[in-house]
A and B are shown apart, each in its own frame.
Chain A
Amino acid sequence: MTIRGALVLTAILCVLASYRVIRGPTEPDRVIGLDAIATNVVAIAVLVALLTDRGLFITVSLVLAIIGFIATVAVAKFLTEGEVIE
Chain B
Amino acid sequence: MIRTTLVIGLVVVGTFFLTVGTIGLLRLPNVYNRMHATSKPTTLGTASMFLAGFVHFGPGAEGLTALVGILFLFLTIPTGSHMIARAAERIGIPFVEGVTWPDPDALERPPEGTRDERAPDSGDSRRYETGANRSGEPGDAED
Contact = CB atoms under 8 A, between A and B. Distances in A.
Interface string A40-81: 101100110110000100110110011011001100110111
Interface string A14-58: 001101100000111101110110011011001101100001001
Contacts of B8: 2-3
A19 B26 contact: yes
Contacts of B122: 82
A38 to B, nearest CB: 9
Given A13-B22, A36-B22, A46 B84 contact: no
Contacts of A80: 86-87, 90-91
B50 to A, nearest CB: 6
Interface string B31-74: 10011001000110110011011001100111001101100110
B94 to A, nearest CB: 10
Given A26-B93, A28-B87, A29-B34, A50 B11 contact: yes
Q: For chain A, give the interface size range.
A: 35 or more
A32 B56 CA distance: 31
Given A28-B93, A66-B72, A79-B87, A46 B66 contact: yes
A62 B76 CA distance: 12
Given A32-B35, A40-B42, A55-B57, A6 B11 contact: yes
Nearest to B121: A82
A19 B61 CA distance: 38
Contact of B25 (A3, A9, A17, A58): A17
A32 B31 contact: yes
Interface of A: 2-3, 6, 9-10, 13, 16-17, 19-20, 26-29, 31-33, 35-36, 39-40, 42-43, 46-47, 49-50, 55, 58-59, 61-62, 65-66, 68-69, 72-73, 76-77, 79-83
Top-4 shortest CB links A-B: A55-B62, A82-B123, A72-B80, A76-B83
